[in-house]
Chain A
Amino acid sequence: MTDTHCPYCSLQCGMRLVRRGRDLEVEARPDFEVNEGALCRKGWTATGLRGHRERLTSPLVRDRATGELRTASWEEALDLVASRMTAVQEEHGRDAVAVFGGGGLTNEKAYALGKFARVALGTSQVDYNGRWCMSSAASAANQALGLDRGLPFPLADVEQTDLLVLVGSNLAETMPPAARHLDRLRARGGHVVVVDPRRTATAERADTVLQPVPGTDLALALGLLHLVVAAGAVDEEYLAARTTGFEAVRREVAAWWPERVERVTGVAAEELRALAGRLATAPRVMVLTARGAEQHSQGTATVLAWINLALALGMPGTAHAGWGCLTGQGNGQGGREHGQKADQLPGYRMIDDPSARAHVAAVWGVDPDDLPGPGRSAFELLERLGTDDGSRALLVMGSNIVVSAPDATRITARLEALDLLVVADVVMSETAALADVVLPVTQWAEETGTMTNLEGRVLLREQAVAPPPGVRSDLEVLAGLAARLGSPSHFATDPAEVFAELGRASAGGRADYAGITHERIRGGQGVFWPCPSREHPGTPRMFAEEFATPDGRARCVAVTHRGAAEQPCADYPLHLTTGRVLAQYQSGAQTRRIRDLPDTGPFVELHPMLATRLGAHDGDRVVVATRRGELEAPARITDAIRPDTVFVPFHWVGANRLTNAALDPDSRMPEFKVCAAAVRT
């Protein structure tokens, strides 16, 4: 029996794994406070990938003669990868080899991967799929609050607030056990608001639902703050004591009167006024943003606008109130803190900060001057692959780029143009299928490692079973390659040892893990970072006294609404938005292979009025087309979506052939959540 956590989303529900003969079964773990024993069907069926016939158990190397993948020994595969990486770097320079990580990797792996790029390869070209997940919220939080911890309070604080505003979150499907907090809040008499172009399962549990045009959440926030200012509900005392910059924000929102916002957002002025009235009078207000608000070319500004609203109401840093971000991927939080992001070193240190470089270089035993500088963001790294201006070889860990990258047809062509593509994965994902070398690695219950959930709670996921013969852990893969590449720094393979090194590397940084060890968090409730020493209790709630800016004050950053990069036109008259369904997770590489989870394939949500216009009936196959590609899938007709918008889930190949890679100027987040589309029958 092993107490551990779910392999999927950022909630990291506690669960108990029990051996019954050859089977590994999931049982409830009621003592873990985040989910109190609750799990969704993804969690209940999480062991379904164990012993799966599609599980990779031997390295594969693409045969030059036949073009087919054939099995190879680990020695042959690692030798080949190391020698070809070396050759590429000798010919084209250090940056000719790139590394791409994932927000599902454990802290240990994310840390080792970043170190591998900077030290073993000496490349600046490292980024990860969290760029497509969390980066807008991270960028906004860093600017406004001086620090990016998705939720600066435990999730259960949601129950104690008075007015909860969820912007672009469908947590009832993406992290179902979290929805219990909404019900308890409402039972206490609190009010739940959901802002989403679709009336989702989460919206069904809300008191107020606003359905703005995709890409206009920013205008909505400006309009709400306009009304809060007009109502005299701004907490002037708080702003004076704890923030700077609000006057410029006040001026900016003077231009966003309700009827103007109505025209931009499609949300009636009366609905805005009603919500503003609640915001102005609720004693405690909590705003939580998620991908719906963040995955836009103005995603950072959108989050800043919602933070401004929370600051104007005097909420952040007070009990059971403020702003937070609902992180998506399992280790979306920890994955962005320890150095697999192009501009960061472990401990959320910035790579262009000389003192940060010196600290980390000392832990790694290298000269700070030998560390590369900042590299390119995920999409920018990928779109240049195989070009004169880009890398020639790529190592992918914990990501299925072919399914999850925006404008995926273009990015797939870039992967195909590489001299060398190496993919470490559990199954033959769509990305692994393109690789020159596929390295079979351990999964979840077969390995130990820490995850940092959406609350900044560092948790231990423990090995419960032995991995199948023939697979190695990602840490072993990195160590094996580092040794062959002649790395000047040692790469440990024991997760506890790597975590201890991570602790030293993060010490004194913004995300300080120095006081956390595997032993300390085994079987418990985890520890919230920052935790600078063994004696430190961790930090469940932040900003009560001051914000993490140099002067301790939050920054009100004036932002304005520009709108989505691609607007509907005569040829593409609809908005397309994308998202998740309950029974699948991310690119589906895992969940699509689990027998007990329904693999419906993609579908196209259409409003009945639009369906009638198109002549489409429920279940008819329709084609969604954008400037970048097409997808054919059955129509699913529902009045829960705006009539000018269609929705496609992104767990299958196809949805991201449609999406637009317009990037946010600050976070480099692509605009997954809106582009112009046409639907044909």
Chain B
Amino acid sequence: MRRGGAHVSSGERLVVVGSGMATTRLVEQLVAHGVARRSRVTVLGDEPHAPYNRILLSAVLEGTHPEQALTLRDPGWYAGAGVALRLGTRVLSLDTARRDVMLVDGEVVPYDRLVLATGALPTLPPIRGLVRPDGRLHPRVHAFRGLDDCRRLLAALPGARRAVVVGGGLLGLQVTRALAVRGLETELVEGGEHLLRSQVGAPAGAVLARALRRLGTTVYTGTRATRLTDEGLRLDTGYTLETDLVVLTAGGRPSTALARAAGLEVRRGVVVDEHLRTSDPHVHAVGDCAQHGEVASGLVPPAWEQAEALAAHLAGTGATYTGSRSVARLRATGLDVAVLGDPERAAGEGGEVVEVTNPVAGTHRRLVVRDGVVVAAAFVGDLTRIGLVTQYFDRSVRLAAHEPGALLVGERTAPPARLADTTEICACAGVSAGAVRGCSSLEEVRATTRATTGCGGCAPAVRELLASRPALTP
């Protein structure tokens, strides 16, 4: 018997636990590589919904993306690809010795190879009163991780006037803006000293807080919520924020309970190697639940890169996963934020920092450069060069000494005051400004130079040149 060999053999039972974005990508790639056809792939999804794009939930909350357009693949697509998609199916336990998983209803699903793609769970901040004695969240309290959370929050909006968002990370900012766009009075509570503290430094966080305040949100940083009461959400400063809704966006942690109980190596996430293999050679893990090296990312692009690498590995291509470059982009109306890599850490590790902060304009841009390569960057309030900088970052382009600076200042485009006689005015006919200046009328220009007789684009310039001819002195 093969033990964890790369190539999925014919008829092999491949079971995937989880139906999130990593799984969707994994199955797409298994289909593309032909693995899905020759093996038996089963997806066990906890959520009852067809696999959807979780990235866009805050846009659904904001009202800029319809819920029906979240679905990534219909159940019919899975069926057509020969993949068994079992939704609303929770896995209770994993037995790596017998190689099977048990569902909550007692059904046992055997596998030859298992992929854990169980995602992440929202972190509950230590606030008294969040959870009621029966274990459910207080009716005013909302998490924001899955589609059901999003629906529940949307359903609560009609009667709500005020909302407090707890957690000033990317998700917290997105949810805050979404609720504000929906017309709620919003307040944001962040326990750290500034917003987005796991991505950016204090100056960027300060610029962001100011931008958010300008948009009407009250921001509390360096402040913890301690207790939810009938009066509202109590802060450790003594204030109580009256509110109809409390939305928890204080980050997430890898969902590792299954793996841990089964005895797999788990640190922050389920530990995987370059083949996304856990400590058991028959079990892989991808996405938010997995930890590769020191990193358990929680972002979609690395999850997809892991899924692609795993599918390629299972197809026998010898592909390996060596880590991802992360690009985190805030999707929130009115706030422009992009974080490439880990700028704080890269700067701390000796990267050279080139930055421009303009609190007046509400912009902060920082590039961290090592050996000429942009290894991390943070942009707040001004994304004019984001497309190019991302290309440089993703492709490790080696820049010259002047370039990081040039990337942070605007491009100058000042047209010359007077066209030189040699400047080409009409490309169609190859006519210079001087040749046009030598003519006395549009008719003469047409007849002698053929300018304006092609695409017609030079006609305004020709008229202008003719009009600005110096008057002939007798």
Cα distance, A259 to B336, chains bound together (Å):
11
A231 proximity list for chain B (CB < 8 A): 64
4 additional contacts, CB 8 Å, given A39-B454, A179-B455, A570-B396? Answer: A176-B457, A257-B55, A262-B387, A263-B394
Closest to A226 in B: B69
A172 proximity list for chain B (CB < 8 A): 427, 455, 457
- Tell yes or no: B395 within 8 A of A by CB: yes
- Residues 215-243 of chain B, each 1 if its beta carbon lies under 8 Å from chain A, else 0: 00000000000000000000000000000
B388 proximity list for chain A (CB < 8 A): 266, 642-644
CB-based contact B383/A230 at 8 Å: no
B383 proximity list for chain A (CB < 8 A): 268-270
Closest to B80 in A: A248
CB distance from A318 to the nearest CB of B (A): 24
CB-based contact B406/A609 at 8 Å: yes
CB distance from A315 to the nearest CB of B (A): 20
CB-based contact A263/B457 at 8 Å: no
- Residues 262-291 of chain A, each 1 if its beta carbon lies under 8 Å from chain B, else 0: 110111111000000000000000000000
CB distance from A547 to the nearest CB of B (A): 25
Cα distance, A176 to B386, chains bound together (Å):
34
- Tell yes or no: B428 within 8 A of A by CB: yes
CB-based contact A262/B386 at 8 Å: yes
Q: B387 touches which one: A247, A265, A573 (CB < 8 A)?
A: A265
A-side residues, CB < 8 A to B, are 28, 37-41, 44, 172-173, 176-180, 183, 201, 204-205, 213, 229-232, 247-248, 250-251, 254-255, 257-260, 262-263, 265-270, 567-568, 570, 573, 582-583, 598, 609, 612-613, 639, 642-644
CB-based contact B428/A40 at 8 Å: yes
CB-based contact B456/A259 at 8 Å: no
CB distance from A88 to the nearest CB of B (A): 41
A44-B411 contact given A254-B72, A257-B331, A609-B406, CB 8 Å threshold: no
Please tell me which stretch of B280-288, B349-357, B397-405 contacts chain A, meaning at least 4 of its Cβ atoms lie within 8 angstroms of it: B397-405
A180-B456 contact given A259-B329, A269-B329, A613-B399, CB 8 Å threshold: yes
Cα distance, A248 to B69, chains bound together (Å):
11
CB distance from B328 to the nearest CB of A (A): 9
List 21 interface pairs A-B (beta carbons < 8 Å), by A numbering. Answer: A37-B453, A40-B428, A41-B454, A44-B429, A172-B455, A176-B455, A179-B455, A179-B457, A180-B456, A213-B391, A229-B69, A251-B71, A251-B73, A251-B74, A254-B53, A254-B71, A254-B72, A255-B72, A573-B398, A582-B427, A644-B395
- Tell yes or no: B250 within 8 A of A by CB: no
CB-based contact B450/A41 at 8 Å: yes
- Residues 63-91 of chain B, each 1 if its beta carbon lies under 8 Å from chain A, else 0: 01110011111100100000000000000
Q: B427 touches which one: A44, A173, A267, A573 (CB < 8 A)?
A: A173
Cα distance, A39 to B428, chains bound together (Å):
8
CB-based contact A582/B428 at 8 Å: yes
Closest to A234 in B: B69
> How many B residues, CB 8 Å from partner?
52
- Tell yes or no: B59 within 8 A of A by CB: yes
- Tell yes or no: B390 within 8 A of A by CB: yes
B386 proximity list for chain A (CB < 8 A): 262, 268
Cα distance, A446 to B105, chains bound together (Å):
85
CB-based contact B428/A639 at 8 Å: no
CB distance from A162 to the nearest CB of B (A): 21
A573-B397 contact given A40-B429, A180-B455, A251-B73, CB 8 Å threshold: yes
- Tell yes or no: B56 within 8 A of A by CB: yes
- Tell yes or no: B321 within 8 A of A by CB: no
Cα distance, A201 to B450, chains bound together (Å):
18
Within 8 A of A (CB), among B103-157: none
- Tell yes or no: B259 within 8 A of A by CB: no
CB-based contact B455/A251 at 8 Å: no
B327 proximity list for chain A (CB < 8 A): 259, 263
B301 proximity list for chain A (CB < 8 A): 260, 263
CB-based contact A568/B69 at 8 Å: no
B77, B387, B402, B456: most-surrounded residue (chain A CB, <10 A): B387
B-side residues, CB < 8 A to A, are 24, 52-53, 55-56, 59, 64-66, 69-74, 77, 301, 327, 329, 331, 336, 383-384, 386-388, 390-392, 394-400, 402-403, 406-407, 411, 413, 427-430, 450, 453-457
CB-based contact A230/B64 at 8 Å: yes
Q: A201 touches which one: B71, B74, B390, B457 (CB < 8 A)?
A: B457
A254, A258, A570: most-surrounded residue (chain B CB, <10 A): A254
Q: A178 touches which one: B52, B73, B407, B455 (CB < 8 A)?
A: B455
A251 proximity list for chain B (CB < 8 A): 71-74, 77
CB-based contact A583/B72 at 8 Å: no
Q: A230 touches which one: B52, B59, B402, B413 (CB < 8 A)?
A: B59
Cα distance, A570 to B372, chains bound together (Å):
13
CB-based contact A644/B397 at 8 Å: yes
Cα distance, A254 to B56, chains bound together (Å):
9
CB-based contact A259/B331 at 8 Å: yes
Q: B77 touches which one: A177, A201, A248, A598 (CB < 8 A)?
A: A248
A213 proximity list for chain B (CB < 8 A): 391
A644-B430 contact given A39-B454, A41-B450, A268-B384, CB 8 Å threshold: no
Closest to B74 in A: A251
CB-based contact B455/A40 at 8 Å: yes
Cα distance, A188 to B59, chains bound together (Å):
36
Cα distance, A173 to B336, chains bound together (Å):
37
CB-based contact A201/B427 at 8 Å: yes
B402 proximity list for chain A (CB < 8 A): 612
B394 proximity list for chain A (CB < 8 A): 263
Closest to A41 in B: B429
CB distance from A487 to the nearest CB of B (A): 45
CB-based contact A232/B66 at 8 Å: yes
B329 proximity list for chain A (CB < 8 A): 259, 262-263, 269
CB-based contact B397/A254 at 8 Å: no
Closest to B392 in A: A644
B387 proximity list for chain A (CB < 8 A): 262, 265-268
CB-based contact A177/B455 at 8 Å: yes
B77, B383, B392, B428: most-surrounded residue (chain A CB, <10 A): B428
Cα distance, A539 to B399, chains bound together (Å):
55
Closest to B399 in A: A613
Closest 3 CB pairs of A and B: A176-B455, A179-B455, A266-B387
Cα distance, A232 to B383, chains bound together (Å):
27
CB distance from A577 to the nearest CB of B (A): 15
Closest to B406 in A: A609
CB distance from A26 to the nearest CB of B (A): 10
Cα distance, A204 to B425, chains bound together (Å):
13
Cα distance, A229 to B386, chains bound together (Å):
25
CB-based contact B71/A38 at 8 Å: no
Cα distance, A270 to B70, chains bound together (Å):
21
Q: A38 touches which one: B65, B392, B453 (CB < 8 A)?
A: B453
Cα distance, A568 to B391, chains bound together (Å):
11
Closest to B64 in A: A230
Q: B430 touches which one: A41, A173, A262, A266 (CB < 8 A)?
A: A41
CB-based contact B65/A230 at 8 Å: yes
Cα distance, A644 to B397, chains bound together (Å):
9
CB-based contact A230/B69 at 8 Å: yes
B457 proximity list for chain A (CB < 8 A): 172, 176, 179, 183, 201, 204-205
A263-B392 contact given A268-B384, A582-B428, CB 8 Å threshold: no
CB-based contact A176/B428 at 8 Å: yes
B390 proximity list for chain A (CB < 8 A): 262-263, 266
A255 proximity list for chain B (CB < 8 A): 24, 53, 72
B72 proximity list for chain A (CB < 8 A): 251, 254-255
Cα distance, A266 to B425, chains bound together (Å):
32
CB-based contact B66/A230 at 8 Å: yes
B52, B327, B411, B456: most-surrounded residue (chain A CB, <10 A): B456
Closest to B395 in A: A568
CB-based contact B391/A266 at 8 Å: yes
CB-based contact B384/A644 at 8 Å: no
Closest to A567 in B: B395
Cα distance, A582 to B431, chains bound together (Å):
13
